[in-house]
Structure 1
Amino acid sequence: MDDFVLWAIEMVQSVDPVLRTILAGVAIMLETSILIGLLVPGDTIVLVAAIGVTSWLEGIALGIAVIAGAILGESLGFWLGRWAGPHIRASWLGRRIGAEQWRRSERYLQRRGGIAIFLSRFLPVLHSLVPLTVGMSRYPYRRFIAWTLPACALWASIYVGLAAGAAGSYMELSQRVHYAGYVFVGAIAVLLIGILVTKKIIARREERHMKDEPRREA
């Protein structure tokens, strides 16, 4: 296990840091822009890129690239929604998403406002639909960025910081502990499970909020 983990980390680290950083930024831009985010596993690419970080400078550069990519992707989704939202919704891919998902995104934005924009970065499906839905509304772009920027920064910090920290800890631990590979794999598994559970908790909480809202209005 140790040999395999060391080989995997060294393979990622062998990729030019500039290229690795650019790929992560582009991947997250695609992941956060309109419906492409349902097809491109940007978060996985960011995690892999973060494992290859070997210095604070590389980590900071990767974090900035991921934040910039996320902002560009969400901005692209916003402006496409403003210019061609109904056409995208009526397209083949838009129909495959399902009318209920689109209505859910609209209700979520109407009832939660800026909080919906912030939390959507951490929610499946909605992280791709909400920027497009916001663009189709009259919500100003300046306010959209004010909510999505801190969400993208927090998201990038969690993914890059934890993955890079786990890889760095392994490289140090592997020199003293024979079974460090299992510790590293366990740490990554805990990280992924923690991210998944957190997303599920947020999603269920927001679902309950949307279900309870009509009762309050009644």
Structure 2
Amino acid sequence: MSLGVAASWWPHAVAMVNATWLLSTFGAFGVLVCIFAESGLLVVGFFLPGDTLLVPAGLLCASTARGGPHLPLLPVLLCAAAGTIAGAQAGFWTGRRAGRAALARVGNRRLRAGADRAELLLTRYGYAKAVVLGRFIPVVRTVLNPVVGAIGVPVRAFTLWQAIGGLAWSQSLVLGGYWLGDSVRHPDACLVPAVAAVVVSLVPVALEVLRGRRTKRADRAPSADV
């Protein structure tokens, strides 16, 4: 099956897959599988929940969690870490063999837009910072790994930075959900984890954008010696 054909029917196949169903059916193992796919499987990964899976998973680990299964915190953290690191590595090796060619054959606009943003990050920040920041951007974190593999980034360097970014992303979201579960009076509300996931994911990117703007302003400012 070609990537183009797969991209056309996979959105319908995964439409029924959501965080509640995954966590209720598979628990921590569902976190591992879904995060692995979202981090490393080019065609199907960006249809799957990432941020909006990890926060509810942490929420269900809290002692006050209601409306779903109670999950043990340590296995969820370990599965999230394993899924994100192994998935990114799989995506990287996919890119080593057919990264740019595979992207060129996929007509999905969202995927192509993610690839464009991934290449922009690489151009602007270099591969180390881009790999870390890309973890916090939906779609980009799926496409970035094959793109990095395709441009020939050294394996050891990629493995180091993707592990740092993956652990920072996955563990912060799970622990954030866990904290919410113990702090919020009604932790089973769907809006709370969804908003939290968006906020936590955007924080590193927003800080980097602000830092870049400050640097540009400093460069444009006249020298004090003039």
Given residue 118 of structure 2, which amino acid in structure 1 is its aligned partner? S
- Structure 1-normalised TM-score? 0.70
Q: How much is the aligned-residue C-alpha RMSD, in angstroms?
A: 3.5
Q: Deviation string for 1:101-151 (max 9, x for gaps)?
A: 534423422442211111110123321221011110121111101001111
Say yes or no: does 1:51 pair with 2:65.
Answer: no
How many Å apart are 1:166 and its aligned residue? 1.8
The structure where helix makes up a greater share of residues is 1
Instruction: Name the CA distance, whole Å, in 2 between partners of 1:127 and 1:182.
Output: 28
How many Å apart are 1:158 and its aligned residue? 1.2
Give the aligned length.
Answer: 188
Q: Secondary structure at the match of 1:113?
A: helix
Say yes or no: does 1:128 pair with 2:136.
Answer: no
Percentage of pairs with the same residue: 26
How many Å apart are 1:40 and its aligned residue? 0.7
The one of 13, 26, 33 equivalent to 1:26 is 33
Question: Where does residue 3 of structure 1 map in the other structure?
Answer: none
Q: Deviation string for 1:159-193 (max 9, x for gaps)?
A: 111111222345xxxxxxxxx32897785466245
Question: Where does residue 175 of structure 2 map in the other structure?
Answer: 161
Evaluate the alpha carbon distance shift between residue 154 and residue 182 of structure 1 in structure 2; reply closer, same or farther with a 3 A threshold.
closer
The one of 34, 49, 53 equivalent to 1:41 is 49
Question: Where does residue 198 of structure 1 map in the other structure?
Answer: 203
Instruction: Name the CA distance, whole Å, in 2 between partners of 1:25 and 1:37.
Output: 13
Evaluate the alpha carbon distance shift between residue 205 and residue 91 of structure 1 in structure 2; reply closer, same or farther with a 3 A threshold.
farther
Evaluate the alpha carbon distance shift between residue 92 and residue 20 of structure 1 in structure 2; reply closer, same or farther with a 3 A threshold.
same
Given residue 59 of structure 2, which amino acid in structure 1 is its aligned partner? I
Q: Secondary structure at the match of 1:139?
A: coil
Instruction: Name the CA distance, whole Å, in 1 between partners of 2:131 and 2:187.
Output: 38
Say yes or no: does 1:102 pair with 2:115.
Answer: yes
User: Given that residues 136 and 201 in structure 2 are in contact (C-alpha distance below 8 angstroms), is that contact kept between their aligned partners in structure 1?
Assistant: no
Evaluate the alpha carbon distance shift between residue 208 and residue 101 of structure 1 in structure 2; reply closer, same or farther with a 3 A threshold.
farther
User: Given that residues 35 and 129 in structure 1 are in contact (C-alpha distance below 8 angstroms), is that contact kept between their aligned partners in structure 2?
Assistant: no
Evaluate the alpha carbon distance shift between residue 193 and residue 119 of structure 1 in structure 2; reply closer, same or farther with a 3 A threshold.
closer
- Structure 2-normalised TM-score? 0.68
The one of 128, 131, 153 equivalent to 1:117 is 131
Structure 1: where are the runs of 5+ without partners? 1-10, 171-179
Question: Where does residue 88 of structure 2 map in the other structure?
Answer: 74
Instruction: Name the CA distance, whole Å, in 1 between partners of 2:95 and 2:152.
Output: 11
Instruction: Name the CA distance, whole Å, in 2 between partners of 1:25 and 1:148.
Output: 16
